[in-house]
């Protein structure tokens, strides 16, 4: 369940361990690209089919912010549907016309509303309650209405509503007084799946009878449970669990007989599973060593569906059309942006619909990520994603950065990261550490940082630095640390707790005062607040002593090396005051500190102009304080 807490901070493959990256041959030069060129790539997401299957609804940031577009299935230019200065998240076409639903908040405040865009371009806020957030849960089986969650009644809990698309009137169908998490509704509308967080690792799964308003506990022994999907005939609930195992596997619960049955087990976590509209296909996603592997089963024949072979790319984000004849998917890699494809499930033909990589960038100049592992201080294997500059060699040693993901409980993965490729392209090796407590490597590894944050997980990062220093083409005296959200906390913890370890620190909206942060969490996190307190500590109890001790703000006088802090003014998770105070305290040390504040961003910078500015300033900071003198040469 700690994945749910990745919302705490966060803010996106190679099987097994690759060979020692030191064996890779270096080249003498590579074309360097500006941050404007990297950000001139197009970011896209989503793949809702129109009612006549002639086009697909996507979100694109080609305008500088994410807006809604359609793209013809046969290929061709996109059509812009919205012109918002904020972030538009397209969700779905309507079932019988070209109206769309999308979500949007106010510059990152995460108070999302659901909007209707009519065919004539008229926009209507369908959930206009001020200060309340809404989240679409999906269409009903007959597509005459849709389900959504809203905390308008009680800011702490998301009630479940059904909204008719005839008059856009909504009705409350489940009043969520118990802090449950929504998990889906059966096609016959008789049952709702709900889960209840116990702690960051464990949860309970329930089946709610909509008619009798009774709750049946589906979960068995204490473990992690998550609803996956109901069977098409509404007779079974599919769910994932790690009960009795290290990794999440797929099971099903027969509603009539109240019996359980194993469905599918893999060597890694099964992240999700769902059925196509009429149940012909079952889609399964597996988190396999920092990359999603997708499989599709034809339930009528029992055979796996063959995927298109896209050279050098991994397939993700599969969406099967309602008539079950077409499949939209994305394909990309660590050195190439993802593109949208459409695949004919009948004849096996597929077509690429987008070209998102800036044509001025040659992907051969970019670096493919490697999955590596190194030993931590106690012998534990730590997985990491590694990027080696092409120009790095023992004769041309390069600086490096240890990159720490968000969380707690997040995971660095192998997808395309323009900010990472930008730094690597400019001569920095990057080691994206999946320290203990990261998701994706089994529940034992997952819970290793509970009540130990900023201690052993920080040691994993320091051992990542030592791993880098052991490579013959890394300048061991020029290694810094960078991270966002929880990773930003780890940066500041390193700069205050182990001030000599890293030459610089780049803190991107990181927690610096756990006492304040844990007391000021958004009200809609109430359903898992107790679990968060159990993992991190309760600031209202004796845990406050430890939380004070691990909060970088109260130890800012220990900072010795240059620090950069980046923050969004509308961040609801890590408040601006956290960064304001940290910067002011560091200034008292006469240590170089640079502060970049964006008034129109939240927890994560989504506007292209802000991405350009933030990444440009990070590189300038690294060049000035980390790279400094020319690289050491043998």
Contacts of 2 (CB under 8 A, 6+ apart): 200, 201, 407, 408, 409, 437, 439, 446, 447, 535
Cα(203)–Cα(225) distance, integer angstroms:
6
Is residue 195 within 8 Å of 204, Cβ to Cβ? yes
Mean predicted confidence (pLDDT) in 585-610: 95
CATH of 4-12+361-529+562-627, one of 3.50.50.60, 3.40.50.1820, 3.40.50.620, 3.30.200.20: 3.40.50.1820
Angle, helix 608-622 to helix 418-425, in steps of 10 degrees: 30
If you count DSSP H runs as helices and E runs as strands, how many of each does the chain have, helices first? 10, 36
Would you state the pLDDT for residue 629?
A: 56
Closest CA to 518 of 556, 548, 554: 548
Cα(44)–Cα(58) distance, integer angstroms:
7
Q: What is the pLDDT of residues 360-390, one digit of tens each?
A: 999 999 999 999 999 999 999 999 999 999 9
484 pLDDT tier (thresholds 50, 70, 90): very high
Q: In what order do the strands lie in the sheet with 191-197?
A: 181-185, 191-197, 203-209, 214-217
Could you tell me what percent of the chain has a pLDDT over 70? 95
Q: Rounded to 5 degrees, what angle do the CA atoms 62, 311, 42 make? A: 5
Average pLDDT, the chain: 93
Could you tell me what percent of the chain has a pLDDT over 90? 87
Contacts of 624 (CB under 8 A, 6+ apart): none
Residue 39: in which H helix or E strand, if any? helix 35-39
Mean predicted confidence (pLDDT) in 80-87: 94
Would you state the pLDDT for residue 81?
A: 98
Chain-centre distance of CA 388, in angstroms?
24
Would you state the pLDDT for residue 632?
A: 46
Mean predicted confidence (pLDDT) in 2-7: 39
Looking at the predicted structure, is the pLDDT value of residue 633 above 80?
Answer: no
Q: What is the pLDDT of residues 385-429, one digit of tens each?
A: 999 999 999 999 999 999 999 988 999 999 999 999 999 999 999
Question: Domains of the chain: which residue ranges?
Answer: 4-12+361-529+562-627
Among 89-103, 398-412, 500-514, 515-529, the range scoring the smallest mean pLDDT is 515-529
Looking at the predicted structure, is the pLDDT value of residue 62 above 50?
Answer: yes
Q: What is the pLDDT of residues 530-588, one digit of tens each?
A: 888 888 889 999 999 999 999 999 999 999 999 999 999 999 999 999 999 999 999 99
Q: Is the pTM of this model over 0.85?
A: yes
């Amino acid at each position: 369940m700690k994945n749910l807490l990745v919302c705490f901070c966060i803010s996106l493959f190679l099987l097994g361990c690759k060979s020692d990256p030191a064996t890779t041959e270096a080249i003498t030069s590579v074309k360097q690209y500006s941050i404007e060129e990297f950000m001139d790539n197009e970011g896209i997401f989503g793949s809702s089919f129109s009612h006549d299957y002639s086009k697909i609804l996507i979100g694109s940031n080609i305008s500088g912010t994410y807006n809604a577009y359609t793209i013809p299935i046969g290929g061709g230019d996109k059509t812009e549907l919205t012109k918002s200065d904020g972030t538009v998240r397209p969700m779905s076409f309507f079932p019988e016309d070209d109206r769309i639903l999308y979500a949007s908040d106010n510059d990152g405040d995460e108070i999302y509303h659901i909007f209707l865009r009519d065919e004539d371009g008229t926009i209507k806020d369908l959930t206009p309650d001020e200060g309340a957030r809404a989240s679409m849960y999906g269409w009903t089986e007959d597509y005459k209405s849709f389900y959504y969650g809203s905390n308008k009644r009680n800011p702490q809990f998301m009630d479940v509503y059904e909204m008719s698309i005839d008059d856009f009137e909504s009705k409350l169908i489940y009043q969520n007084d118990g802090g449950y998490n929504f998990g889906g509704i059966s096609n016959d509308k008789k049952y709702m799946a709900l889960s209840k967080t116990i702690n960051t690792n464990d949860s309970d799964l329930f089946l709610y009878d909509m008619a009798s308003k009774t709750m049946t506990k589906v979960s068995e022994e204490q473990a992690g449970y998550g609803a996956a999907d109901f069977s098409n005939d509404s007779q079974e609930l599919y769910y994932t669990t790690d009960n009795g195992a290290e990794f999440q596997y797929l099971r099903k619960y027969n509603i009539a007989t109240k019996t359980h049955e194993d469905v599918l087990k893999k060597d890694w976590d099964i992240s999700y599973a769902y059925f196509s509209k009429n149940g012909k296909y079952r889609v399964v996603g597996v988190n396999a060593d920092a990359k999603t592997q997708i499989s599709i089963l034809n339930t009528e024949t029992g055979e796996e569906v063959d995927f298109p072979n896209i050279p050098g790319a991994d397939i993700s984000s599969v969406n099967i059309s309602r008539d079950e004849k077409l499949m939209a998917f994305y394909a990309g890699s660590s050195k190439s942006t993802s593109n949208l494809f459409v695949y004919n499930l009948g004849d096996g033909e597929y077509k690429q619909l987008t070209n998102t990589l800036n044509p001025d960038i040659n992907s051969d100049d970019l670096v493919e990520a490697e999955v590596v592992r190194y030993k931590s201080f106690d012998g534990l294997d730590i997985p990491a994603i590694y990027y080696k500059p092409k120009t790095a060699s023992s004769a041309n040693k390069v600086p490096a950065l240890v990159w720490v993901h968000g969380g707690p409980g997040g995971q660095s993965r192998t997808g395309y990261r323009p900010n990472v490729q930008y730094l690597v392209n400019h001569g920095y090796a990057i080691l994206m550490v999946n320290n203990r407590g990261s998701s994706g490597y089994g529940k034992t590894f997952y819970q290793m940082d509970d009540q130990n944050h900023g201690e052993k997980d920080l040691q994993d990062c320091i051992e990542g630095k030592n791993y880098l220093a052991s490579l013959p083409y890394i300048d061991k005296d020029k290694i810094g640390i960078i991270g966002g959200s929880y990773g930003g906390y780890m940066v500041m913890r390193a700069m205050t707790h182990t001030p000599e370890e890293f030459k610089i620190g780049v803190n991107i909206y990181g927690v610096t005062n756990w006492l304040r942060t844990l007391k000021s969490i958004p009200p809609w996190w109430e359903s898992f607040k107790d679990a968060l307190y159990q993992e991190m500590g309760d600031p209202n109890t004796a845990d406050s002593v430890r939380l004070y001790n691990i909060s970088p703000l109260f130890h800012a006088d220990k900072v010795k090396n240059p620090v950069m802090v980046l923050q969004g003014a509308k961040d609801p998770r890590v408040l601006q005051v956290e960064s304001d105070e940290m910067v002011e305290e560091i200034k008292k040390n006469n240590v170089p500190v640079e502060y970049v504040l964006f008034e129109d961003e939240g927890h994560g910078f989504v506007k292209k102009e802000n991405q350009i500015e933030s990444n440009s300033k990070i590189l300038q900071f690294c060049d000035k304080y980390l790279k400094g003198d020319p690289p050491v040469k043998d």
